Chain A
Amino acid sequence: MASQEILAGLRRLLPPDCLLTDAEDTRPFECDGLTLIRQQPLAVALPHTREQLTQLLRFCHQHQVPVVPRGAGTGLAASALPHPQGVLLSMAKFDRILEMDARSRTAVVEPGVRNLAISEAARPHGLYYAPDPSSQIACSIGGNVAENSGGVHCLKYGLTLHNVLAVSALTAAGEEVRFGSGALDAPGLDLLALMIGSEGMLAVITEVTVRLVPLPRLARCIMASFADVEHAGNAVAALIAAGIIPAGLEMLDQQAARLVEPFVHAGYDLEAAAILLCESDGTPEEVEAEILAMHAVLAGAGATRLQVSASEAERQKFWAGRKNAFPAAGRAAPAYYCTDGTIPRRHIGRMLKAIQDMERRYGLACPNVFHAGDGNLHPLVLFDDGDPESVARAEAFGAEILEESLRLGGTITGEHGVGMEKLNQMCTQFERGTLDAFTGVKRAFDPAGILNPGKVIPTLHRCAEYGRMRVADGRVAHPELPRF
């Protein structure tokens, strides 16, 4: 179907305030949080009723028009990058909390509800929604489900996956389906597990049932300095090996601490090679005992300075730097590029040393903050987005960190998703058979292939090209792997 006919069809289905077709109106939707990759869609649809949404999907399905669902657009992997011949489907207007059930400790919300809004609505009942990505003020629960978002508390409280009981959705053909149930399981295959983290490729989310947990009575945080990144990495492993599951366990390297301190005045030890933030929450008795145990392990692991938050204000201050690392990076350089490879915790020190080596080779600075408790890295490669040569170096730097993550036995993405960004590295992480199986899963949900096509699963051709490029570049990360 020609573009003009598609647009005419969309205009028949949606009122004028629910459809954007002029380039200047659709421009804000040309990228998500990863601004390096942009694409204008044919149109942006912003339906606000279920009927409009269903009609839109049926129309697109019938005419083979690609549909790219989008939440708040805070994603970092270009999962919601528009398709040039397709409809960018914004779910922003589905923003109601439909049920808040304190008795069963669940909430039923529309996909456009912001992550933090759920916890705010649950707070009067002494409950909250545990996964807390750093974008939680802005990001939507629909996007969280699409990406299986994490946050700083997921070591103890789990990812989106562990906190969502059910998802209602429309298939690409516009049929209503419900994955999971209000109970703790559902009959049949666990399709909910496939939906969570499916990056908008399997079905369009219309409702999410989340699990709420009791607010902890108290939280306290230890700030520990280390003279060497290896020591800090070993301290993380020692905590876990001691049977402690901290509520939060985050690391900042020296560069990151020096970057944020002038803005937040958190009192970070700027001489330390790395700082660990280690949090305990629960009942006052529990926290007191756990803080003592954590303190002993950190001291035993060679911490050079240890400070325990004495008040809620001080705890917030400790965290302020970690939470403001991204904005601080934004102020320190014209642009930053953040990836999220995940590695076994025991290799944290090795990884940081490898990144330091890459900083020299690429000529770019890279402060590191990360979810140390689950080995999830967030290197912030600082570059100049006005200089194409700097952009290319930043992208290559990010890609090499991902390849190194795989070499250490990890994964290319812990919580941001693959999107368009990490298609190449999917070729390294998975063999062709597994990639073909992913295509099979996609086909089972969306036989016509109209939902967010081209994301997550690289084509055979792309992998062959990537393999050749890496060989030509002379930095093949692992020559022992078969080339696809």
Chain B
Amino acid sequence: MDALLAEWADRVRAASGRREPLCIRAGGSKHFYGNAPRGEIFDPRAWRGVESHEPSELVLTARAGTPLAEIESQLAARGQMLAFEPPHFGPEATLGGCIAAGLSGPRRAAAGYTYGSLRDAVLGARLLDGQGRLLRFGGTVIKNVAGYDVARLLAGSLGILGVLIDVSLKVLPLPAMERTLRFEMPERQALETLQQWGAQPLPLSASCWLERALWLRLSGAAPAVEAGVRALGGESIDTDAAGRFWREVREQQHAWFAGEAPLWRVSLPGAAEPLGLDAPQLIEWGGALRWLRGSMPAEQIRERARRLGGHATLFRGGDHHDVFTPLSAPLLAIHRRLKQEFDPAGIFNPGRMYAEL
């Protein structure tokens, strides 16, 4: 084992022995996300660098402390990308934090063609668990069903199972062409329109509705994008403005996200009807992701989300307690036992996901 990893394993075993919590934190760009973190800071940034990128294999393996921006620029230089278009939420963002947060960006909900989510792109991972074991899951090939898919379990696990060491991801070619269109329309019409267009073989790669306007991105081979643009109409947005718009939405730097009002992330079936809550709203993912601003009671938002078949997370602001929708009793029991298996002393990011974990 590498000397640094051996040192980390010793530190983890010592912390487990003393039952002292560790707060895994690299760049801190997603420190706001989840319940309030606690414990001694464990900074994994010393373990960094891209280990391999073989463009013809569509696979990249990198150490978890590698800056996300470094990975993306290296991929772009070879005409490839992380298809889940992850939000960085700051220049310090690392691969490990990106995977642990599990958040995907605008391209996640593309219809037809599978860009997929962050979790979908994970192929393998190494984890340092609470017993100081260095465990390797998955691999570096796209199809792999040997053993349980623990690598993908780690996507979005908020560091509660251990320290991510390396991650292998499926990457995709950059689209040959991208175009952005804008349409003036109210919420209900936008949701219905998105469903209709989503059912057609159009190369849609992002959608965003806010302030009575629907923005739509098409990506792919030039003939498909051009045919889509002709079929859909709307106002064509120039490349720079379009790039800025999607980046600002992804990074939550758009003016809509400004201010102190709590930000709710409501995840719903795409075809769900309007939320009907009296609050400013931004809709992504073809209707499947609805951002809300406001201080409405958590119970009110969660109940509405539940009735529509989804769930709601207090994403930013508020009191940083119970930010995620509570789990059913049998699911919570499985979560507790999984936590026990990977982190028996309960030292990793305690309470970050749920108070009981």
Is B136's CB under 8 angstroms from A430's CB?
yes
Whether B153 sits at the interface, judged by CB under 8 Å, is yes
Which residue on chain B has the smallest CB distance to residue A281? B201
Whether A100 sits at the interface, judged by CB under 8 Å, is no
Is B199's CB under 8 angstroms from A413's CB?
no
Whether A9 sits at the interface, judged by CB under 8 Å, is no
Which residue on chain A has the smallest CB distance to residue B158? A189
Chain B nearest CB: distance from A249 CB in Å?
12
**CA–CA, A374 to B147, complex, Å?**
19
**CA–CA, A178 to B149, complex, Å?**
18
Chain A nearest CB: distance from B283 CB in Å?
13
Whether B111 sits at the interface, judged by CB under 8 Å, is yes
Q: Give me the interface of B with A, judged by CB distance under 8 Å.
A: 54-59, 79, 102, 108-109, 111-114, 116-117, 119-120, 129, 133-137, 139-150, 152-153, 155-157, 160-161, 172-174, 176, 195, 198-201, 203, 220-224, 226-227, 267-272, 285, 288-289, 309-311, 313, 324-328, 330-331, 334-335, 337-338, 340-342, 353-354
**CA–CA, A171 to B289, complex, Å?**
30
Q: Which residues of B contact A295 (CB under 8 A)?
A: none
Whether A161 sits at the interface, judged by CB under 8 Å, is yes
Is A285's CB under 8 angstroms from B227's CB?
yes
**CA–CA, A101 to B272, complex, Å?**
12
**CA–CA, A213 to B133, complex, Å?**
41
**CA–CA, A202 to B334, complex, Å?**
10
| 10 sampled A-B residue pairs with Cβ under 8 A | A101-B271, A104-B272, A105-B270, A184-B285, A187-B325, A190-B102, A197-B145, A214-B200, A411-B143, A434-B147
Within 8 A of B (CB), among A160-219: 161-162, 171, 175-179, 181-191, 193-194, 196-198, 202, 213-217
Is A445's CB under 8 angstroms from B334's CB?
yes
Which residue on chain B has the smallest CB distance to residue A166? B309
Whether A243 sits at the interface, judged by CB under 8 Å, is yes
Which 9 A-B pairs rank lowest in CB-CB distance, beginning with the nearest? A440-B341, A285-B223, A243-B173, A104-B271, A414-B143, A193-B152, A286-B224, A444-B337, A237-B56
Residue in A161, A184, A189, A282 whose CB lies within 8 Å of B338: A189
Query: Given A181-B310, A345-B57: A437 and B145 within 8 A (CB)?
Result: no
Is A241's CB under 8 angstroms from B224's CB?
no
Chain A nearest CB: distance from B8 CB in Å?
15
Residue in A161, A185, A198 whose CB lies within 8 Å of B148: A198
Which residue on chain B has the smallest CB distance to residue A414? B143
Max chain A Cβ within 10 angstroms of own Cβ: one of B129, B156, B324: B156
Q: Which residues of A contact B331 (CB under 8 A)?
A: 177-179, 188, 191
Query: Given A104-B269, A184-B108, A437-B135: A191 and B153 within 8 A (CB)?
Result: yes
Residue in A154, A157, A215, A289 whose CB lies within 8 Å of B143: A154
Q: Which residues of A contact B341 (CB under 8 A)?
A: 437, 440-441, 443-444
Residue in A101, A157, A443 whose CB lies within 8 Å of B114: A157
Q: Which residues of B contact A444 (CB under 8 A)?
A: 334, 337-338, 340-341
Whether A410 sits at the interface, judged by CB under 8 Å, is yes
Whether A155 sits at the interface, judged by CB under 8 Å, is yes
Chain B nearest CB: distance from A132 CB in Å?
14
Is B119's CB under 8 angstroms from A193's CB?
yes
Query: Given A285-B226, A290-B221, A440-B341: A187 and B144 within 8 A (CB)?
Result: no
Query: Given A147-B145, A413-B145: A289 and B223 within 8 A (CB)?
Result: yes
Query: Given A181-B310, A190-B102, A444-B338: A162 and B114 within 8 A (CB)?
Result: yes
Chain B nearest CB: distance from A385 CB in Å?
26
Is A159's CB under 8 angstroms from B143's CB?
yes
Is B148's CB under 8 angstroms from A217's CB?
no
Whether A375 sits at the interface, judged by CB under 8 Å, is yes
Whether A81 sits at the interface, judged by CB under 8 Å, is no
Which residue on chain A has the smallest CB distance to residue B161? A189
Q: Which residues of B contact A178 (CB under 8 A)?
A: 328, 331
Q: Give per-residue flags for A138-153: 1 if the beta carbon is below 8 A from chain B beta carbons, else 0.
A: 0000000001101000
Is A286's CB under 8 angstroms from B328's CB?
no
Chain A nearest CB: distance from B39 CB in Å?
19
Query: Given A175-B330, A188-B335: A282 and B153 within 8 A (CB)?
Result: no
Query: Given A177-B331, A344-B54: A213 and B112 within 8 A (CB)?
Result: yes
Residue in A177, A238, A244 whose CB lies within 8 Å of B328: A177
Whether A254 sits at the interface, judged by CB under 8 Å, is no
Is B156's CB under 8 angstroms from A190's CB?
yes
**CA–CA, A426 to B341, complex, Å?**
21
Is B120's CB under 8 angstroms from A161's CB?
yes
Residue in A286, A290, A346 whose CB lies within 8 Å of B57: A346
Which residue on chain A has the smallest CB distance to residue B287? A104
**CA–CA, A244 to B172, complex, Å?**
9
Residue in A104, A193, A438, A442 whose CB lies within 8 Å of B270: A104
Is A343's CB under 8 angstroms from B330's CB?
no
Is B224's CB under 8 angstroms from A282's CB?
yes
Q: Which residues of A contact B201 (CB under 8 A)?
A: 214-217, 282-283
Q: Which residues of A contact B334 (CB under 8 A)?
A: 171, 177, 191, 444-445
Interface-lining segment among A20-28, A113-121, A415-423:
A415-423
**CA–CA, A381 to B330, complex, Å?**
45
**CA–CA, A260 to B335, complex, Å?**
50
Is B147's CB under 8 angstroms from A185's CB?
no
Q: Give per-residue flags for A447-473: 1 if the beta carbon is below 8 A from chain B beta carbons, else 0.
A: 100000000110000000000000000
Q: Which residues of A contact B285 (CB under 8 A)?
A: 184
Whether A106 sits at the interface, judged by CB under 8 Å, is yes
Chain A nearest CB: distance from B125 CB in Å?
11
Whether A267 sits at the interface, judged by CB under 8 Å, is no
Is B148's CB under 8 angstroms from A104's CB?
no
Whether A58 sits at the interface, judged by CB under 8 Å, is no
Is A418's CB under 8 angstroms from B147's CB?
yes
